[in-house]
Each structure stands twice: as C-alpha cells, then as structure tokens.
Structure 1
Amino acid sequence: MKKVINLVTHMEAGGAQGAAIRMSKEMRNRGIDAETWFIYKKSDTYTDEEKVEVIYKSAPTNIYHALKIVSILLKKFKEVKPDGVISYTHYASTLGHIASFMAGVKNRVATMRNPAWSYPRLAKLLNKYMGGKNYYTKIIAVSETVKESCNSYSQKYKDNIVVVYNGVPARISALTKEAARKKFNFNTGSSKLLINLGRLHPQKNQQLLIKMMPYLPGYRLAIAGQGELFQDLSKLINDLNVADRVHLLGEIKPNDVPDFLRCGDVFLFSSIFEAFGFAIFEAAYNGLPIIASNIPSNVEVLTDGGNKAGIIVPDMEVASWVSAVKSLEDPALYQSYKDAIEKKSKSFDFDSMVKAYTHYSTVNI
C-alpha cells in the first residue's frame, strides 16, 4: 500500500488545514495509507480526526527550534518511509522538505496556497532556493494568480510548477435557515444576516465589514474565526455602537461550518490577498450569493469570460461595500448571483484535485 504524509505547519481551523485533512481522508478512501501531520498546534480543531499527529510542542521561535523540527521530521520520515510528502503551508514546505529530501522520500510536493510575495522573508528566500534546486519534485500552485507570483523565479522553479485548483467537496447543511439560526442563537428578526468566515487577521480585512454596519441598519453581521485581531475588532464594534448587530463567534468546529453558512443571506469575502477562497464555494453550496474584494484570485474564480459569478467590489471603500450589499436587495439580482456561483462552484472539482495530488505524491516509485 502506498503511503503519503500531508504536512501542515500548525493545527487550526484554516483553509490549508482543512484541505490536508480532506485530502488524507479521500486518499484513504482510495486505498492509500494517508496521514496528516501538524508541526505544532494552535488549537485542538483536528485532534479527534483519524491518523492525525502533532510533531512539536510549540511554535518555533528561533533557529534551534527550527533545526529541532527538521531533526524530528527526518527521524520520523526514515521510520515511516512514505512514498510522498505533500506540504500545505510555507514552513511545512521549507522545514518539511529539507527533512523529506534528507530522508530520501521520492515524491516531495510543495503546495503554494498564497502568492509568493506574501510569504515571510525567510520562508520566501528558502522556498525560492529550494524550488530552484531538487528539494521539491513538484510545486502545486492553487491558482494561476499564485503561479504568476513566481514569474521572477528561476526557470527550473517555473518549469516545476503546475496549477491544480482547490477542489471543494459539497458540504451542504441539512438544516433550514431558521433551524441553523436557532442553533447559533441568531435572533435576527426581520434583519438580513451577512456572513464572513476566516481567521481574524489583517489579510482577511474584517474591520472593513464592521465599518459598514452603521450604514446598514437593517442588517446583522456574523464573523466566525479566531485570531490575533479579536480584541481590536471587539473594540471597533463597541466604538461604532454596533455590538447589538455584529457577532464575533470565535472558532467553530469544521463540521459546523455548513450550518453556520446556512444562517446567512449574503457571504462577504473582504481579503486583501488570497490564493483561492475555499469559503466562497462552501458558501455557494449553502445557497449564498458572494460579495468579494477586487483581488486577482477572486477575479479568477468568480469570472468566466465576461460573466461574473459574484459581485466584485472595485475598491476597499466602505461606501462601495455598502452599495454592493444594498444592490442585492433586488430579488432578481440576488437570485441571479446565487444561481451563477452555484454553477461556477461545480467547475472546482474535488475528484480532479485528489487525482492530481495522488499522482504527484506517488509517481516516482
């Protein structure tokens, strides 16, 4: 039986983490002995999942910790002898594939899940160097936007990149909207509910969504996620006197995400950069039209020729976002965007993603 390790930097309820867990599960369904390893743990999100392991006790803060992690991974790779290692985040790619290369793992796949320019400086330098040598047998970019961010890299690096879009399995809530709102204690009355899902991090730009709310008195906003900006966003909510209409839920369990999305009327995706927005299509499967920021990855996944599967807001001005939200008060426009994103979501096929990842992680054996 072939064996594959899906390696992620840290455990939390993030897109890369969920992708690794789903990939391991589906690989096992297809006869591959697949495990998910996290270098360290930020939260207990996936501790109850099958074949999950945490490698190190805490986040690395210095070179000694990094070398220790490489040493542990090297020892484990030699013991387990996987046919392939797939990394899902930049430190998993760099530290993980130094170890996998030294251990003689034949298939060393690095996935790029954000544009190269967004990487921390050290991770960016290591990734650029390792991709130009033989540390990675294949580099998977999750969108053309990510691939294009490496245009200045060496020819060897660019020749080794392939685009494999993130496939999103259709996780659809079995609840009605009313039952879902009851589950999360949303007493919205006649108000419409705007939904956002993501880490509370500057990249996700949730402060923009909160700043809209004084101008949208007939709406509520619910944000699910944890992160470093929790206190700042809480203060902003209080300063704007919208605490009765804005809800910070913290991290929710992955299995509860479809029910949370079913609560909403519109999904807001305000990131200042992304590689591929998993949450867009999870929202689409649960019946929500999309309003998204004008960044290359969103344009890539929400357009098909001249057709748009969501509202792409031209800038990050509060007034522009308020206008976009209000435009969906038109029932015909609301339904048209809802239908368009549902149709578009079918083009991001999970089966194709699994086949590609399986191929690249087992081909050299």
Structure 2
Amino acid sequence: MSGQRILFVQTQAENAGAQEVSRLLGEHLTNRGHTVRHLFFYKKSEDFSAPPDTIIVRQTRPSKWRFFSFLGELYKAIRDFKPDCVFCFQHFGNVIGAPVARLAGCPFIVANQVTAPSLINPVVALLDKGLGMAGIYDRVTVNSNFLLDTYGRYPIRYVSRLDFIPQGFETKDCAMDIASAREELGLPNGVPLLGVSARLNPAKQIDKVLAILATQPEWHFAIAGQGPDFTRLQNEAAKLEITNRVHFLGEFAPSQIGEFLACLDVFTFPSAAESFGLAAIEAAQAGVPVVANDLPVLQEVLQANGKPCALFVDVMDPEAFASAIATVLNKPKVAQTLRDRSGDLKERYSLKAMVDAYEALATGKDPAADKHQVMAVS
C-alpha cells in the first residue's frame, strides 16, 4: 500500500485534548509510511508542543477584518500540500476547514466531532449539519455513544456518514514516586493534593473545586493548564484566601503530564460538559483516583468491564463532591478499587485500534470500529 498524504486541521495550537489525539494519530500514521502534516488556524499557547511538520497559519486569532485574507492563506496552505485526505477537528476546524479543503481540491474530508454539543454556538451547529448533509464532509467521526446518540438524531444524509471510533490514548505513566514528583514540580509533600489538567475556561468549572478547598484547610489543589479563565480563577483563589494552597503550574507538554499526575492523591474533574473526557481517563489509567462530575458521557467512558472507574457526584452539590474526595483520601480500599478497575481502560481505548480505524478512513476502507457499537454503562 502506497502512503497517503494526510492533513490534520485544527483551530488553535495548544496542548489540549483534541490536539493530543491528532498528535498521536499523526505520529503513528507517519510510522506506517504516510506523509502527515498538521495545520492550525492560529497559535493559542506559547508553550504549545508542535508535532513534526506543523503549519500555523496565523500567530494570533484572525480578526473579523482580516478573516478573508486568513481564508486565502488557509486555502493556499492546504492546496500546496495536496492532501489525499483531510481530518478536521473541533467545531470551527470542521465548518471552516472542510469547505476550504474542498475548494482546494481535497478528494476526501473527515469531520471529527470532539466538542461537547452544549458548548457549540447554535449557528455553528446548524452550519455543521448543513455541511454534513450537503456532502462537504465525506465521513463524520464520533468517539462516544453520547455523541453517537446526539448526532444520530440528525437527518439521514448526515447520519449515514457517521463512524464511531472509540478514542485511543497514550499512557501517562511516570517512574517517580509521589514525593520525588512533587519535589520536581515544587509542590508540597505531606499534604492531601487534588489536581486537574484542563484548558482553563468557565465550562471546566474549576472554581467549584476552589470553593470546596476553602472548606477543607488541609487540602491543596494543583492546576495544570492555561486558558481564558486563568485570571478569574486566580482572583477567586485570592477572594477565598486560599492562594497558598492553590498551585497554578501552567501548561504541560504531553510527555510531562505523567509527572504531574504522579504528584496527585485525587484527580478532580468538575467539568460542566464533555464529549469524551480524555484528561480524566489518562489520570485514572495512571493510577490516580478520579472524582468526576456526574455527567452521562463521563459515566459511559470512565468504566471498564461494566464497572465504574471513578466516583461520580453532582458538582453542584459541593458537600457531596467534597465527601467523595474525602472518601478517596481516607479510605485506601476505595482508592485501590478504582485503581484496579482503571487498569483495563488502556485495553478498552486501544491506541492501535484508533489508528487502524483512521488509517482505514484515509485509505478508503470502512473503519474497523462498528459505528453501531453500544458501550455498556454501569
């Protein structure tokens, strides 16, 4: 089989979940003999760990006054690469990248739905539906039954293009013990340490954990990530008088996440909306007990062999969420049970299976994943 020319298109260059997926796919498809390029509309983070052969069209987010010149640059970048297949990620990556790629002559375009539907502007969602029905997308991937059910309610001309490909991931293990990892990152030893790895935006609801921290004077909280909510979270920590127990560590490269996870006693995941929840899955598989918001999609993905791999609690009930964290901290058997169950997540979300499915799409075959597969939820 001759290698394909494959282009991954995304909105912003930063170290976040969708970018991690395309990075992994690009790395493994390159190893299989394909020519891979990554294209980002603009640079979101100075700490972005760019994969090999990456193009960033603009260094800052295109303004509305320069949007058409940006589209011209995007068109030229796609046309010059002459891809056999384009994989678009994120809602703006789909609705902007796919039409431009079609105009640039790309013969096969895949839209990847990786954003929680409730976070997508209704106008953008309507445009996405129209592009799928019109055939601008040849295929549309989803990575959870939650999303399959959501997009499965669309008209048949859209639904017929759906492929369910469970998301694979790379393990984030670390050889250091907890004390060494904390010393390396400048975090305190001998204290209960909660943590989260996320893009800092209001939908992640990290302020809910800050409020809980204010009621638990012994607990500390480490935050890995950057984003528009950073200043507000800093101000909230100051208002609650907990700045000495909240540790903003900035953005981590994918290769460093394991070191961060090795520091934690509990991984908290209070997000209001998710399409998959990769950060929580990485934490659970790395052996960090997870306490997550009680979202249906998280209950679906954070389970293995029909058993939950996390404690699920409505974060809008702060006393219950704090109680769940305390349970993990104070009951070693509960924490160990979650660790034991989470060891099977790597098999459930096989990286090889995901790469196989995307390679099948890129080469014109049916992906190995069964689009009608239903995951059992405990």
Q: TM-score, normalised by structure 1?
A: 0.94
Is the contact between residue 143 and residue 164 of structure 2 (CA under 8 Å) also seen in structure 1? yes
Is the contact between residue 38 and residue 51 of structure 2 (CA under 8 Å) also seen in structure 1? no
Is the contact between residue 284 and residue 345 of structure 1 (CA under 8 Å) also seen in structure 2? no
Is the contact between residue 11 and residue 38 of structure 1 (CA under 8 Å) also seen in structure 2? yes
Structure 1 residue 210 and structure 2 residue 213: aligned? no
TM-fit CA distance, 1:2: 1.2
Is the contact between residue 208 and residue 315 of structure 2 (CA under 8 Å) also seen in structure 1? no
Q: Deviations over 1:255-305 (max 9, x none)?
A: 211100110011111110001111112212322011111112101112357
Structure 1 residue 25 and structure 2 residue 27: aligned? yes
Structure 1 residue 200 and structure 2 residue 186: aligned? no
In structure 1, the residue matched to 2:358 is: 357
What does 1:128-143 correspond to in 2, within 5 Å? Answer: 128-143=129-144
3-state secondary structure, aligned to 1:215: coil
Larger mean Cα displacement after TM superposition, 18-27 or 44-53: 44-53
What does 1:176-191 correspond to in 2, within 5 Å? Answer: 176-189=177-190, 191=191
Aligned structure 1 segments of 4 or more residues deviating by more than 6 angstroms: none
Is the contact between residue 304 and residue 342 of structure 2 (CA under 8 Å) also seen in structure 1? no
In structure 2, the residue matched to 1:104 is: 105
Q: Deviations over 1:127-165 (max 9, x none)?
A: 111011110110001211112222442211111111111
What does 1:276-295 correspond to in 2, within 5 Å? Answer: 276-295=276-295
Report how many residues are paired.
362
Q: Distance in 2 between matches of 1:315 and 1:238?
A: 21
What is the aligned-residue identity percentage? 27
Is the contact between residue 281 and residue 345 of structure 1 (CA under 8 Å) also seen in structure 2? no
Is the contact between residue 70 and residue 98 of structure 1 (CA under 8 Å) also seen in structure 2? no
TM-fit CA distance, 1:35: 1.2
Is the contact between residue 30 and residue 36 of structure 2 (CA under 8 Å) also seen in structure 1? yes
Q: Distance in 1 between matches of 2:56 and 2:136?
A: 23
Q: Deviations over 1:188-214 (max 9, x none)?
A: 32x111110101111111000111112
Is the contact between residue 11 and residue 45 of structure 1 (CA under 8 Å) also seen in structure 2? no
Larger mean Cα displacement after TM superposition, 27-36 or 306-315: 306-315
Q: Distance in 1 between matches of 2:255 and 2:350?
A: 20
Larger mean Cα displacement after TM superposition, 191-200 or 38-47: 38-47
In structure 2, the residue matched to 1:296 is: 296
Q: Distance in 1 between matches of 2:136 and 2:70?
A: 17
Structure 1 residue 69 and structure 2 residue 83: aligned? no
In structure 2, the residue matched to 1:40 is: 42
Q: Deviations over 1:313-338 (max 9, x none)?
A: 13522111111011111111111011
In structure 2, the residue matched to 1:95 is: 96
3-state secondary structure, aligned to 1:174: coil
- The code of the aligned residue for 2:310 comes to G
In structure 2, the residue matched to 1:332 is: 333
Is the contact between residue 15 and residue 254 of structure 2 (CA under 8 Å) also seen in structure 1? yes
In structure 1, the residue matched to 2:51 is: 49
TM-fit CA distance, 1:73: 2.6
Q: Distance in 1 between matches of 2:35 and 2:181?
A: 36
In structure 1, the residue matched to 2:370 is: none
Q: What stretches of structure 1 of length at least 5 have no aligned partner?
A: none
Is the contact between residue 75 and residue 104 of structure 2 (CA under 8 Å) also seen in structure 1? yes
Shift in alpha-carbon separation, 1:89–1:219, aligned structure 2, 3 A: same
Shift in alpha-carbon separation, 1:254–1:228, aligned structure 2, 3 A: same
What does 1:156-305 correspond to in 2, within 5 Å? Answer: 156-189=157-190, 191-303=191-303
3-state secondary structure, aligned to 1:166: coil
Q: Distance in 2 between matches of 1:201 and 1:264?
A: 22
Larger mean Cα displacement after TM superposition, 223-232 or 49-58: 49-58
TM-fit CA distance, 1:44: 3.0
Q: TM-score, normalised by structure 2?
A: 0.91
3-state secondary structure, aligned to 1:288: coil
Q: Distance in 2 between matches of 1:351 and 1:65?
A: 41
Structure 1 residue 150 and structure 2 residue 148: aligned? no
Is the contact between residue 115 and residue 149 of structure 1 (CA under 8 Å) also seen in structure 2? no
TM-fit CA distance, 1:47: 5.5
- The code of the aligned residue for 1:241 comes to E
Q: Distance in 2 between matches of 1:269 and 1:343?
A: 20
Is the contact between residue 224 and residue 248 of structure 1 (CA under 8 Å) also seen in structure 2? yes
Is the contact between residue 110 and residue 136 of structure 1 (CA under 8 Å) also seen in structure 2? yes
Q: Distance in 2 between matches of 1:348 and 1:237?
A: 36
In structure 1, the residue matched to 2:375 is: none
Q: Distance in 1 between matches of 2:59 and 2:308?
A: 45
Is the contact between residue 94 and residue 111 of structure 2 (CA under 8 Å) also seen in structure 1? yes
3-state secondary structure, aligned to 1:149: helix
Q: Distance in 2 between matches of 1:125 and 1:335?
A: 45
Is the contact between residue 107 and residue 360 of structure 1 (CA under 8 Å) also seen in structure 2? no
Is the contact between residue 117 and residue 124 of structure 1 (CA under 8 Å) also seen in structure 2? no
